[in-house]
Amino acid sequence: MRRQRKAKILATLGPASSTPEMIQALFEAGADVFRFNFSHGTHADHQERYRIVREVERKVGRPIAILADLQGPKLRIGQFAEGKVTLIAGQEFMLDRDPTLGNSERVCLPHPELFEVIAAGQSLLLDDGKLRLQVQDSDGQRIRTRVVNGGALSDRKGVNVPDAVLPIPALTEKDKRDLAFALEMGVDWIALSFVQRPEDVLEAKALIGDRAWVLSKLEKPAALDQLDAIVQVSDAIMVARGDLGVELPPERVPGVQKRILRVCRQHGKPVVIATQMLESMITMPVPTRAEASDVASAIYDGSDAVMLSAESASGAYPLEAVEMMNRIITEVEQDPLYRNLLDAQQATPLPNRSDAICSALRDVTRIVGAKATLTYTSSGHTSLRAARERPIAPIVSITPKLSTARRLAMVWGVHSTISDQVHNESEMVKAACETAFKEGFAQAGDQIAITAGMPFGQPGSTNLLRLAEIWPR
Residue 220: its pLDDT value, please? 87
Same domain? For 298 and 381 the reply is: no
What is the rounded distance in angstroms from the CA atom of residue 270 to the CA atom of residue 275? 17
Of 283, 301, 334, the one marking the end of a domain is 334
Q: Is residue 143 part of a domain?
A: yes
- Pick the catalytic residue: 12, 145, 275, 375? 275
Residue 460: its pLDDT value, please? 64
The tens digit of pLDDT for each residue in 180-214 reads 999 999 999 999 999 999 999 999 999 999 999 99
List the CATH number of the domain containing 119.
2.40.33.10
Nearest CA among 269, 309, 319 for reference residue 35: 309
Residue 155's domain comprises 84-160
- Pick the catalytic residue: 3, 54, 74, 76? 76
Residue 422: its pLDDT value, please? 83
Peptide bond into 455 cis (omega under 30): yes
Of 271, 302, 334, the one marking the end of a domain is 334
What is the rounded distance in angstroms from the CA atom of residue 277 to the CA atom of residue 271? 15
What is the rounded distance in angstroms from the CA atom of residue 131 to the CA atom of residue 149? 5
275 is catalytic: yes
217 is catalytic: yes
Same domain? For 93 and 150 the reply is: yes
Q: Which residues of the chain have pLDDT under 50?
A: none
Same domain? For 292 and 441 the reply is: no
Long-range own/partner contacts, residues 401-408 (CB < 8 A, 24 or more apart): 402/63, 403/188, 404/377, 404/378, 404/379, 404/380, 405/63, 406/63, 406/64, 406/65, 406/66, 406/188, 407/65, 407/188, 407/189, 407/212, 407/213, 407/380, 408/63, 408/65, 408/377, 408/380, 408/383, 408/384
Residue 128: its pLDDT value, please? 85
Same domain? For 62 and 151 the reply is: no
Of 302, 334, 366, the one marking the end of a domain is 334
Q: Is residue 339 part of a domain?
A: no
Same domain? For 14 and 64 the reply is: yes
Question: In which element (H, E) is residue 232 found?
Answer: helix 227-233
Same domain? For 409 and 459 the reply is: yes
Please count the CA atoms within 13 angstroms of the CA of 222 that sit on its side-chain side: 15
Same domain? For 361 and 441 the reply is: yes
Same domain? For 256 and 316 the reply is: yes
Instruction: State the pTM of this model.
Output: 0.92
Structurally, how many domains does the chain consist of?
3
Nearest CA among 452, 12, 8 for reference residue 270: 8
- Pick the catalytic residue: 106, 217, 220, 241? 217
Q: Is residue 280 part of a domain?
A: yes
Residue 473: its pLDDT value, please? 65
Residue type, 393: A
List the CATH number of the domain containing 191.
3.20.20.60
